[in-house]
């Protein structure tokens, strides 16, 4: 189990024929002066809580992503990676949709 606090984040909904939709956190971090930007896709959201402008997304692997509500979006590197994922998934008849920022994440039924 790990806890993550991304600099930027979005929730994506992944759908394909014959399968229930899966919601995941796509998280991005800035690399800073000597580092590289990075990203991570969680295992699949199972539960969400909201307190003090922070969403806590629990994943099926047991990890928790603590995401500040004001940081919704991606950085340049993460956005490029996510757009490529969306394009590649479409070739395999899988849809990856970025949920809008105004989504009430605590009201979604997660599998």
Cβ proximity of 85 and 97 under 8 Å: no
Domain count, the chain: 1
pLDDT, mean over the chain: 95
Instruction: Assess if residue 38 is contained within a domain.
Output: yes
Q: Place 69 in a pLDDT band, splitting at 50, 70 and 90.
A: very high
Q: Which domain holds residue 91?
A: 3-13+25-107
- Cross-strand partners of 95: 15
pTM attached to this predicted model: 0.94
Above 90 in pLDDT, residue 1?
A: no
Instruction: Assess if residue 70 is contained within a domain.
Output: yes
Cβ proximity of 43 and 100 under 8 Å: no
């Amino acid at each position: 189990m790990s806890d993550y606090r991304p600099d930027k984040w979005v929730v994506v909904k992944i759908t394909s024929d014959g399968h229930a939709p899966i919601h995941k956190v796509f998280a991005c971090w800035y690399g800073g002066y000597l580092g590289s930007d990075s990203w991570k896709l969680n295992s699949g959201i199972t539960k969400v809580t909201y307190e003090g402008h922070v969403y806590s997304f629990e994943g099926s692997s047991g990890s928790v992503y603590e995401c500040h509500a004001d940081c919704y979006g991606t950085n340049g590197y993460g956005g490029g990676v996510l757009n490529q994922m969306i394009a590649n998934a479409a070739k395999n008849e899988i849809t990856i949709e970025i949920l809008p920022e105004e989504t009430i994440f605590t009201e979604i039924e997660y599998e």
